[in-house]
Structure 1
Amino acid sequence: MPHTPLRVVYAGTPSVAVPSLRALHADPAVDVVAVVTRPDAPQGRKRILTPSPVAQVASELGIETIAAARLDDDATARIAALEPDLGVIVAYGGLVREPLLSVPAHGWINLHFSLLPRWRGAAPVQRALMAGDTVTGAAVFQLVPALDAGDVFSELTYAPGADETAGEVLEHLAVTGADLLCGTVRDIASGTASAAPQTGEPTIAHKLSIDDGLLDFSLDADSVLARYRGVTPEPGAHTTIDGARFKIHSATRAEGVEPLSPGHLREHADGVLVGTSTDAIVLQQVQPAGKARMAADDWFRGQREGVVLGS
């Protein structure tokens, strides 16, 4: 006789949580009985209230949605009434605490975008790139009261390309992680799942602020590019010109060019060179204060001689 599908409550909010929702919904071993997501939020210049990416897909798939800014008593009661076998969380944006943690028969599992215990917390991919990690990945683990500290069911590794930004790495891990997650859920459904305690020294991936995006060109090129990659697209890389914010949307390492003094600029075939304490970097797409995003060379042609980034 076929097994009854596992009744799953899925909690997620941003676009990186969409591939996992779609994969679980398509899996015959799973019945996604409800989606929990953050409430509609203002978007764009007109600040129009807009459902989260996960809420939009849940509506498309005909899945009941529970909009909750936090998993309080009301959300807990609504979830408990569904009698779920398992809770699954992917980038929901809030903590699951008791008594909700114990509501599903199999508890809650989390798809986290790092190789635990490295980079527990809110911004694992961003912090990994900022730290210069050459390998990252994803892990599915059992949720426990302590932050991202539960036993790990499964994981995958990924070596980002030299120019990959946090946004691009997250897009990749969202897709490959969805397959990893579904495999774990199937194992739980069949009773074959096993999890192992995390080993190694934990590091914490604190949430990013706008200040984390500030580039310091007095550092070496590796450090500057690591920070740029980690904060792109959010909260965004930037510097200053005469005290005004200057955003950097696209940059890469320069090859075969003479070094420049930190923050100093020069024309280049692929954009605009900017100096660091070691190699120069090529700026490709920039955005001056109060203006639209533009090609770096178009911006540079209109600048006064001697302009310096970080001034």
Structure 2
Amino acid sequence: MLKVLFAGTPDVAVPSLRTLAADTGHFEVVAVLTRPDAPTGRGRKLMPSPVKQAALELGIPVIESDPSEESFVSCLKATGAEAAAVVAYGKILKEHVLDALPLGWYNLHFSLLPDWRGAAPVQRAIWAGDSVTGATVFRITKGMDCGPILAQSTVTIGAHETAGELLERLADDGSHLLAASLEAMAEGRIVPVEQPQGAFEVARKITVEDAHLRFDVPVFAVNRQARACTPNPGAWCELHADGDANGEPTTLHVLAARPIADDDRDNFATMLANRAGNGDADGTSASSLNPGELLVTKRKVWVGTVTDPLELEQVKPQGKKAMKAADWARGARLAPTAYVK
């Protein structure tokens, strides 16, 4: 039986912890390493990480000391762990810490390495328009996500799948890949393969400013951006409800959106022509809504891009709760010239 230290912090790491803890025939999770309790929410109340909460439920000892502290290695060795499983822990581990466990440290990373090394592989894969991604288990070395690979699995990215939805799928699938890889490693049935050398895209962290939606691009591009930034840090734009460029905008969070559906094109063209006073849709195309311009009906809210319009499905206005975009638009008192930017 392999004695394992588990290191992780957010929700995405919990399935792997639970999978390893449940497989008592192959693993003993001797301790969990996670971040200290952190202030959360409006009240800034100290809250444990999702991984710590799961560890306490499972009755597993929790270590919250920083790996950079001098006493950490002694604490680590006292657990009796032979190897460590790491999923979204969030701390850089120095070489002397990596050398402290006899069988090493192994990370579950949510990309097909060497593609998308870094902090936000799932988000960057969606933003780049990748059709396939996956999970990789590799041995951690001093370089960033560049250690030898034990195993990989692939998944197809759904056409309308958000980063949160894809990450949830990968977390569940990856938990089993991690367990199988550690088991095979401990039994000597797997030979890690070095990653190829070369220049590969780095999945840098997505900031709040990165999540500011652009509409002066094709609809596929803004759709990818919105999906990549959902749920975190959250796609958003500036709403000019009165249509005045000099007025004070408010923030509109976009929780769900997608390019116009084919069966909505005739309806869109008719509504656009009627608003323009043309009386019919002849000569009107779905691309004739200006970037950022809004077109609102009883059931639909469209925003223009440089190609087809984007349908807003669910939004969260500044200071209010999430709601269907059409419900929001009915009560928002939008001027005919209202736009987002």
Residue in structure 1 matched with residue 281 of structure 2 by the alignment = none
Higher Rg: 2
Aligned partner letter, 1:10 = F
1:305 corresponds to 2:336:
yes
* CA RMSD across the alignment: 1.4
Measure how far apart 1:295 and its partner are: 1.6
From 78, 82, 97, the equivalent of 1:81 is 78
Q: Distance in 2 between matches of 1:193 and 1:254?
A: 48
Tell me if the contact between 2:11 and 2:50 (Cα under 8 Å) persists in the aligned partners. yes
Residue in structure 2 matched with residue 122 of structure 1 by the alignment = 119
Q: Distance in 1 between matches of 2:162 and 2:29?
A: 32
Q: Distance in 2 between matches of 1:69 and 1:249?
A: 35
From 216, 220, 223, the equivalent of 1:222 is 220
Indicate the SS of the match to 2:15. helix
Measure how far apart 1:40 and its partner are: 0.9
Q: Distance in 1 between matches of 2:91 and 2:222?
A: 31
Counterparts in 2 of 1:138 and 1:273: CA distance versus 1, 3 Å: same
Counterparts in 2 of 1:67 and 1:127: CA distance versus 1, 3 Å: same
1:99 corresponds to 2:105:
no
Q: Distance in 1 between matches of 2:224 and 2:164?
A: 13
| Unmatched runs of 5 consecutive residues or more in structure 1 | none
Same amino acid, percent of matched pairs:
43
1:47 corresponds to 2:53:
no
Q: Distance in 1 between matches of 2:45 and 2:18?
A: 26
Q: Which moved more, 1:103-112 or 1:191-200?
A: 191-200
Residue in structure 2 matched with residue 153 of structure 1 by the alignment = 150
1:21 corresponds to 2:52:
no
Q: Distance in 2 between matches of 1:252 and 1:172?
A: 21
Q: Distance in 1 between matches of 2:100 and 2:318?
A: 50
Tell me if the contact between 1:117 and 1:201 (Cα under 8 Å) persists in the aligned partners. no
Aligned partner letter, 2:179 = C
Aligned partner letter, 1:309 = V
Residue in structure 2 matched with residue 197 of structure 1 by the alignment = 194
Tell me if the contact between 2:21 and 2:28 (Cα under 8 Å) persists in the aligned partners. yes
Q: Distance in 1 between matches of 2:28 and 2:134?
A: 27
1:207-266 per-residue CA deviation (whole Å, 9 max, x = no partner) reads 111001011101001110111111100000011124332211111121232232111111
Residue in structure 2 matched with residue 278 of structure 1 by the alignment = 307
1:250 corresponds to 2:281:
no
Residue in structure 1 matched with residue 292 of structure 2 by the alignment = 263
Counterparts in 2 of 1:195 and 1:77: CA distance versus 1, 3 Å: same
Indicate the SS of the match to 1:99. helix
Q: Distance in 2 between matches of 1:221 and 1:79?
A: 50
Q: TM-score, normalised by structure 1?
A: 0.95
| Unmatched runs of 5 consecutive residues or more in structure 2 | 241-248, 266-285
From 6, 10, 33, the equivalent of 2:6 is 10
Measure how far apart 1:71 and its partner are: 4.3
1:207 corresponds to 2:205:
yes
Counterparts in 2 of 1:55 and 1:304: CA distance versus 1, 3 Å: same
Indicate the SS of the match to 1:153. strand
Aligned partner letter, 1:38 = R
Q: How many residues align?
A: 306
